[in-house]
Structures are given as C-alpha cells and as structure tokens.
Structure 1
Amino acid sequence: MAPDPGLLRLRVSLRAVLGIALAVTLSELAGLSLTASITGGLAALLALFTVADPTVRGQAVTTALLPAVGFPALALATVLHETPTLRDAVWLAVIFCGVYARRWGPRGHALGIFAFMTFFVTQFLHAVPAQLPDLYTAMTLSLVASSAVRFGAWCIERRTPPPAAPAPKDDRGLARPTTRQAFQAFAACAFAMAAGQVLSQERWYWAVGTVWWIFVNTTSRGETLVRGFRRLLGTITGILVGLLVAVPLQGAPAPTAALIAVCVFGIFYTAALSYSWMMLCVTVMAGLLYGLLGVLTPALLGLRLAQTGVGALGAGLAVVLILPVTTDAVTNRWVRRALHEVHGCTATAARRLAGDPDADPAPRVAQLEALLGRVRLSLAPLVHPLNPLRPRKERARRVLALLDDCAREARGLAAVAADPEASHDTRLTAACHRVESAVATLVGASPKHLTRPHVEPSPHHPGAEQALAHLQRLEHALTSLSQPLQGTTFAQP
C-alpha cells in the first residue's frame, strides 16, 4: 500500500521477473542440469538486485565484474565440499573480505554479496567439481540475459535519474564501520557455522546465510538487532505459507515455476519497504526450490526456522560484544550531515533567487532526501514498536518529523527558486543567515555567511514572498529541533 511514484518499484519488479525468467529459459534450452539452471537464476537475481551503482555505465561495469568473484567462489566451494574444515575457513575469509569490500561503495557491496551467495548456492545444491562447466555456462548465460533486459530492452535507469548517494566516510582502521562489521560478521558466521552444524550436517549453511543478510544494509547495533528480529518474523510467516503452498505442490514444475515468479516479484517489490515481507517471499521461494529438488518436507521447513534463529542469535551476540557501533554514534553522523545539507539547500536557493543562473538547488534537495533516508534507517531501532524506552522513542520520532519538515520547506524553496520570474528580496538574506545560524547552533559550529550578488530589491514579488515563507518555516523547524536533540549525541561534534 506504500506510494510508488512513477510506478518505479512495479517496473523494477516486473523487469526482474522477465530477466530471471529469460536467464533460466536460456539455461534450460542449452540443455543444462536443474542445478545449473537454479545457479543461473540466482546469478540473474543477484545481478538485478544488488548492483546499484549511481550510473548506468557503472552498473554495467559492476555486472561485468561479477564473474571475476563468482567463478573462483564456485570453484573453491565445489572443490572443498568434501573437506569441511578447510571449506569453512575459506568461506569465513570470503565473508570477511565481502563485508570489508563495502568500504568501496556500491560496487564493493555488490561484488561481496555475489561472492558470498555463489559460495552459498553450492552448499544449497551440493554441487561437485564435475558440474563446474555447466555452472559457469549457466552463470554466464544468465548474466548476459539479465543484462540484455536491464541495459537494453528495459533500461529504467536511463529514464529515472538515480537518487543522490551520501559520500563515503573518511574514517580509518577500526573507526570505519565497514571494518568493524567485517569482524562482527566473521565472528557471527563462525558461531553460526558451529551451531548450525550441531543442528544439521546437511543444512547448516542456512544459519550462515541468515547472518550475512542481517548484516546487509545495516551499520549500528540497533539496526542489526531490529533486522534480525524482522528476519525471524519473515521466516516464520514464510514457513507457514510454505506449508500451505509449497509442500502440497511437491515440486510440480508448472505451478512451482509460476509461484517462484510471484516470489521474485515480491522480493523486489517489498525490499525497499519491509524486510519481513521480503523474507517471507524468500522463504517461500526457497521452499519451492526444495520442492523442485525433491527434498521438501515440513521437517525441513522447521529446520530452516531453527537455523534462522541460530543465525539471528549469532548476529545479535556479535554486534553487542564485538566492536559495537551504537545507534547514537551512527545517528549523530547522519543528522549532522542532513542539517548541513539543509543549509546547503537554503544557500543555493538564495543565490538562485539573487540572480545566479549557475546555482541549482535541485541536486542539493535530492542529496538531502538521500541523507534523510539514512537518518530514518539509523533511527529505526529507536522508533521500533518493541523499543521499551518510550522517552527515547518519542524524541526520535520528533527528530524525524522535524527533519521531514525541513525537507518539505527545502523542496518548496527550491521550487520557488526555479521560477525565472522570482527576484531577490533583501529580507531573504537575513532569513538565510538565521537558517545558517540555527544549523550552526545545532551542530556546534560557527556560521559562515555567504556573500551574494547585489540585485535591486523587489520585496513585493510573489516568488520572494513564497521563498521568505519557506525560510521562516524552515527556521522554525530548525529551532524546534534543539529541544529533542538536547541531551542526545545526535548532533554533537
């Protein structure tokens, strides 16, 4: 029921179904085995789901690099399948490197996920070295097919500019969140491997997979704990649906393929909205795949739930005990950056109103929206319904509401500035200075007023009046933020 401006989520989801269906069809037409076709389908899904560079060219380059990590991972996983100790050690090394690679942005993130999941799928399918040629062929065909859909037949990105992405941090060593997460994921996966193998020598890898995906797109301790809860909730509901849908089918090809397509659509359509809903779709799809392989039983679904619980426990222990990154520490960074961007939007819009044709506030507003998305994500643990700390929950909600007010006024100001008839009003300069001072007070900095070109004032122009109204409401929202931020570390240096 969430809004879908431009039906973007719908189009991305339908494109994913088309790309993955084409990939699997090519594998089947090539006479490859079911194991190879499933591997190819997963490769296409990952290419469409995880590759998120800000430009189409960057996405194409990252997609082309996927085999560079996928092929070695396939080879290692299959060759080491009969030597569990060495296999586990190598997989832990892949996990550490995959998480650490996130420091290089979307490309490192996508390549790390692809390497991990390629290793994972060989455990899921019990692939052996003799199958490597088929697996390589299926992966290559699938990446070509999904790329043909994504970059050729249905290139949504060329028509929809990607949102602005926050710049990477300058932290070094253990101060860098991705470094800390690499150690946390390594320890959590080691725990999941050991505990998972106690539960089952055949399906232990589900616990490791749970840990990995809990750590994806999280930074702080609170984010990870909330994601673990949502993963468990989505798995439970997915198993209940699987008992009603997947088990009775027992791998019947046509209806199973149709339902897998529905699950793929659900994964892409709900991913940005609800991790629990996405995990429901993933769990049902896994059950359907097990049905195709002829091993699906209610007991197997129960084992998956137990392995998910083990993985969530391992992730929770790791983020609490090993180099923890607190929610306040992460939120502090994003709130500060969002506040600075509010001032950037204001200053750029003011220059545009003052007659500077090169000043365009639209990119700054897009950047602000992206930063607010990260603020919402970092504050999600504090506003979660299960958070028992009501004062902190209410304070976090107040911060989010006021930052949303800031974004709304910044958008309105940018829209007024885009009007070529809008002209400068001397009151705008004073209002911009007050906004700058309000931001400086919140982040503990000294205001640095910008000089603006001199233009003859036109105080009664409707555009100037509207801009002034936006600036006044923006100043009020920033001033109101001082109360909920007081006594927190959200915006202190």
Structure 2
Amino acid sequence: MLKRVFVAPDPGRARLRFATRAVLGIGLAVVVCGLAGHSLAGAVTGGLAALLALFTVTDATVRGQAVTTALLPAVGLPVLAAAAALHDQPVARDLTFLAIVGAGVYARRWGPRGHSLGVFAFMTFFVAQFLHATTGQLPELYVAVLLSVATAAAVRFGVWCYERRIPPAAAPAPPAGTGLARITTRQAIQATAGAGFALVVGQLVSGQRWYWAVGATWWIFVNTTSRGETLVRGFRRVLGTVVGIGLGLVVAVPVAGSAVPTAVLAAVCVFGIFYTAAVSYSWMMLCVTLLASLLYGLLGVLSPGLLALRLAETGVGALGAALAVLLLLPVTTHAVNDGWIQRALRCVHACTAEAAARLAGAEGADPAPRVAELEQLLGRVRLAVAPLVHPLNPMLGRKRRARRVLALLDDCAREIRGLVAVAADPEASHDARLAAACWRVEAAVEALTDGRDLPAHDERPQAGEPALAHLHGVERALAELAAPLRAPSRSPLVGA
C-alpha cells in the first residue's frame, strides 16, 4: 500500500500541486477567520468550507470551477440555517438530513457541478451536528463560510491557478439512463436508505455522535457506481479508520489540543488527504480520521473512548451502505465497468494522436490534458474492477484476468507518458512512420471496443526512435488486451 501511494505516477506533479495548494488555501482560510475574531467553531467551519471548495470542485474548465465555487455558499448557507434551526427538533432534523442525503446523491446526474454542490450541502449539515450549532451562532458561521470560500477561491484562481497552463480533465460522469435505469437515481435511493439505517442504529450507539455513522454511509457512496465498488469502498473506509484511530492514540491523544503541534499535524493531514485521494481511499481515510482526532483535541473532548466510538459508528455506516447496495436496486459491476474500459481505450488513442500531431508541428496540439483525462479514467477503471482483484474475491481465474487488464492498461499509460515527454522536446522531429503507428493504435482500439479481431502487423521499433518505440509499446499492450477482455468463459470484468 505504501508503494501504491508514494510510487504511483503523478504526471506533471498534479497530485503534489493539488495537495500543496490545499494546505496553503485552507491554512490561509483559517488564519483569515482568526483575524476576523471568530471562535474555534467559526474557524473549523471555515476550514471545512475551504477544504470542500478546493477538494470537490472538478469542472472541466477554470471558468466552470469558478462558477461552481461561487455557488457553494448559495447551497451551504440555507442548509446551515436549517441545521441550526432544527437543533432541538430531532425528528425534523433527522428527516431533513436524510432528504439532503438523497438530493445530494441525485444531484450527481448533473455532472461535476451537481456532485460538488451535493457534497457541500451534506457536509454543511454534518458540520452543524459536529459543532452542535445553534441559531445564535449563524452570523459568525455565515461569515466564516463566505470568507473561507473567498480565500480558497483567491488561492485557486489567483495565487496558484496551475490549471490555466494544463487544463484538468473533467471528472468522468457515471453512465446515463432514465428512471430507475439511471444509476444516480438508484444510488440516491440506496444512499437515503443506508443513511436511514445508519442514523437509527447510530443513535442507539451514541445519542451525541450518531452523525458519524451517517457520514460514513455518505462518503462510501461518493465516486462509486456499482454494488461491488461500494462494498470494497466500505471495507477500505473501515480499514483506514482503524489505522487512523491507532495513529490518533499515538499522536493526537498525547498532543491533547496543544495549538502549535495540532496546527502542524493538521496541515500534514490535509496534505495527505489531497495527495492520496486519487490513489488510495484507505490512506485518505487514515488522514481524515487523524485530522478529526486533532480537531476533537482542540475542542477538549478527545479520549480513547471517543476514538473507539468513532470506529463503532463507522462500522454502522459501512453496514448501512452494504445492506442498501445488496438489497435495494443493486447495480452489478458488469453494468458499468466495460463502459469505463472502453472510454479509457478511446482516450489512449486520443493521447497518441495528439502527441503525434504535436511532433508533426500542428499548431495548438497539446497532449497534456488528454494524459490527465487518461489518468482519471484509469482511476475509474481501477475502482470498477476493485471487487474482482480484492484479496477476498474467491474467483481466482477472474481475478488473474482482471489484474492482467489493469497491468496492460497501466503499460499503455506508461508508454503514453513517455511519448508525451518526447513530444514535449522542442528538438524532437516527426517521423513519417508515426502517423502509420497512430492509425494502427486507432484500429486496435476500434477492434477492442467493437469486438472485432485486432489487425496484425510486423513492424518493430528501431533504435534511436523513442517516439516510435513508445507507440509500438502501446500497440503491444493493446494486442495483449484482447485475450483477457475476451476470455471464453465470460470476461473477468463482468458478472461480479
């Protein structure tokens, strides 16, 4: 797991920049709240608002990101008011919370913006429970949210807007449909039911910290599509929480809310959340759990018993999510994973074509955004087939073939990164054979996605021609993909 996090490819150091900018933006937001004279509750609310503004906004363009960021308070402030007004009305509060869960998941049908606004609405209600917010605190909390979102926006779009140079790829949207065939509709129903279970059982476990269970259910559903993905994510959430609690006992409890060590450790946790999110959900949850422990230390309520309670509530939330996806409108793995693989394969071709055009001197050709898109799509493929490659999966043949598919797709990505690096060299020249190799890549992708036989070719790369060698590497990986994708006894990528 360590190797996966710290040796995972990071084209253009995107994850490193993402995490470093987050520490800067969130740190500045908390400082601004402090300078405004806000209490600890205001600073925590502001810090969370900045974190969400930097973490969840994933529109394809900088302009789109700015619009979504500006809309966050418009969604968050009314939810914050409702949470505070219903503080002493538990039945109405609980029903409102469940309605926000369902609406937040359903909003994903409108793409990255709907996803961001849904997450912000949920987390605003969640933080109100975390802080036991009342109507008397609303003016301060409103100002904290507005100041922090504005500060995060200033960092993201002013101080450090690296996306203007390398536009990020849009977060891949789930497959479409209508009615109950639409995955987001099914997930909204599942998430609401799972959160309802977590809410009821969580309150039986603890009348004060029940919202932890609802939060666990919510975040297990984020960025998952199928039943298998959700179950694996629940397992990883519990694993990350267990390890994070162990670290909390060793690190956060001895610190006991001391301001300077807590601030330093919190910054490390924020960096870890952003740096590991794309490659390891368990590591991200470890960082989230440790950060929560540090915040409870600042609030003066941290103890080993509280950490044990967090583990119990996380287990309740994971159980609620598991029951919901198993029993209520299940979405099987085979319903979604083939689509992600086909999109990744088409992106492989787009990357090679763009790099070849760059080498040919085409004006405006830039493969960097395509490479970023490929990395995101490969992340979705890994998430989709995670149930098949999980150590607890007893179907060994399917597991082996699924791992082979992932390995070959990673080979494609590695060769493409090398090709793009060659294309970035201003002295690199265009070889006439590059166009022919790109055509063969396109033909191979079309054959794999359409179910036809791959065309054969005998050409081999020559020494001293790195771009052509990388293209041949892509061709070889695509040719080898045919076997695991077309296994005679159903593909390992369907039927889980």
Calculate the TM-score normalised by the size of structure 2: 0.86
Look up the match of 2:430. 422
Superposed, which structure 2 residues align to 1:271-282 within 5 Å? 271-282=277-288
1:400 positional shift:
1.4
CA contact 1:23–1:145 (8 Å) conserved in 2: yes
Superposed, which structure 2 residues align to 1:332-343 within 5 Å? 332-343=338-349
CA contact 1:221–1:324 (8 Å) conserved in 2: yes
Return closer, same or farther for 1:341/1:139 CA change in 2, 3 Å cut-off.
closer
Look up the match of 2:478. 478
Look up the match of 2:395. 389
1:153 positional shift:
2.0
C-alpha distance in structure 2 between counterparts of 1:344 and 1:381, whole Å? 28
Return closer, same or farther for 1:169/1:376 CA change in 2, 3 Å cut-off.
same
Aligned-partner SS, 1:53: coil
Return closer, same or farther for 1:34/1:173 CA change in 2, 3 Å cut-off.
same
CA contact 2:191–2:221 (8 Å) conserved in 1: yes
Superposed, which structure 2 residues align to 1:6-21 within 5 Å? 6-21=12-27
Q: CA RMSD in A?
A: 3.3
Percent same amino acid among aligned pairs? 65
CA displacement, residues 1-40 of structure 1 (integer Å, 9 cap, x when unaligned): 2254544433332322222222222222222222122111
Superposed, which structure 2 residues align to 1:60-99 within 5 Å? 60-99=66-105
Look up the match of 1:105. 111
CA contact 1:422–1:464 (8 Å) conserved in 2: no
Look up the match of 2:201. 195
Look up the match of 2:293. 287
Superposed, which structure 2 residues align to 1:109-258 within 5 Å? 109-163=115-169, 165-166=171-172, 169-258=175-264
C-alpha distance in structure 2 between counterparts of 1:118 and 1:460, whole Å? 57
C-alpha distance in structure 2 between counterparts of 1:138 and 1:282, whole Å? 21
Aligned-partner SS, 2:7: coil
1:304 equivalent among 310, 334, 342: 310
CA displacement, residues 103-135 of structure 1 (integer Å, 9 cap, x when unaligned): 222211111111000000111111111111111
C-alpha distance in structure 2 between counterparts of 1:294 and 1:140, whole Å? 27
Return closer, same or farther for 1:152/1:388 CA change in 2, 3 Å cut-off.
same
Look up the match of 1:453. none
Look up the match of 1:488. 490
Structure whose alpha-carbon radius of gyration is higher: 1
CA displacement, residues 271-295 of structure 1 (integer Å, 9 cap, x when unaligned): 2232222212211221222222222
C-alpha distance in structure 2 between counterparts of 1:5 and 1:346, whole Å? 16
CA contact 1:333–1:490 (8 Å) conserved in 2: no
Letter in 1 for 2:197: F
CA contact 1:332–1:489 (8 Å) conserved in 2: no
CA contact 2:356–2:435 (8 Å) conserved in 1: yes
Aligned-partner SS, 2:81: helix
CA contact 2:43–2:144 (8 Å) conserved in 1: yes
C-alpha distance in structure 2 between counterparts of 1:435 and 1:99, whole Å? 38
Superposed, which structure 2 residues align to 1:44-63 within 5 Å? 44-63=50-69
1:2 equivalent among 1, 4, 7: 7
> Bigger shift: 321-330 or 92-101?
321-330
Superposed, which structure 2 residues align to 1:433-444 within 5 Å? 438-444=444-450
Letter in 1 for 2:399: K
CA contact 1:16–1:264 (8 Å) conserved in 2: yes
Look up the match of 2:3. none
Letter in 2 for 1:422: H
1:443 positional shift:
3.1
C-alpha distance in structure 2 between counterparts of 1:327 and 1:111, whole Å? 27
C-alpha distance in structure 1 between counterparts of 2:258 and 2:439, whole Å? 68
Return closer, same or farther for 1:446/1:145 CA change in 2, 3 Å cut-off.
same
1:222 positional shift:
1.6
1:345 positional shift:
5.2
Letter in 1 for 2:149: L
Letter in 2 for 1:2: V
Return closer, same or farther for 1:271/1:444 CA change in 2, 3 Å cut-off.
closer
Look up the match of 2:274. 268
> Bigger shift: 297-306 or 191-200?
297-306
Return closer, same or farther for 1:165/1:241 CA change in 2, 3 Å cut-off.
closer
C-alpha distance in structure 2 between counterparts of 1:123 and 1:83, whole Å? 13
Letter in 1 for 2:29: A
Return closer, same or farther for 1:491/1:287 CA change in 2, 3 Å cut-off.
closer
Return closer, same or farther for 1:44/1:345 CA change in 2, 3 Å cut-off.
closer
C-alpha distance in structure 2 between counterparts of 1:369 and 1:155, whole Å? 20
Look up the match of 1:40. 46
CA contact 2:22–2:54 (8 Å) conserved in 1: yes
CA contact 2:170–2:373 (8 Å) conserved in 1: yes
CA contact 1:26–1:141 (8 Å) conserved in 2: yes
> Bigger shift: 251-260 or 217-226?
251-260
- Segments of 5+ residues of structure 2 without an aligned counterpart are 1-5
CA contact 1:120–1:205 (8 Å) conserved in 2: yes
Calculate the TM-score normalised by the size of structure 1: 0.87
C-alpha distance in structure 2 between counterparts of 1:348 and 1:38, whole Å? 45
CA contact 2:105–2:187 (8 Å) conserved in 1: yes
Letter in 2 for 1:483: A
Q: Would you say how many aligned residue pairs link Structure 1 and Structure 2?
A: 480
CA displacement, residues 242-270 of structure 1 (integer Å, 9 cap, x when unaligned): 22222233323333233222222222222
1:221 positional shift:
1.5
C-alpha distance in structure 2 between counterparts of 1:358 and 1:154, whole Å? 27
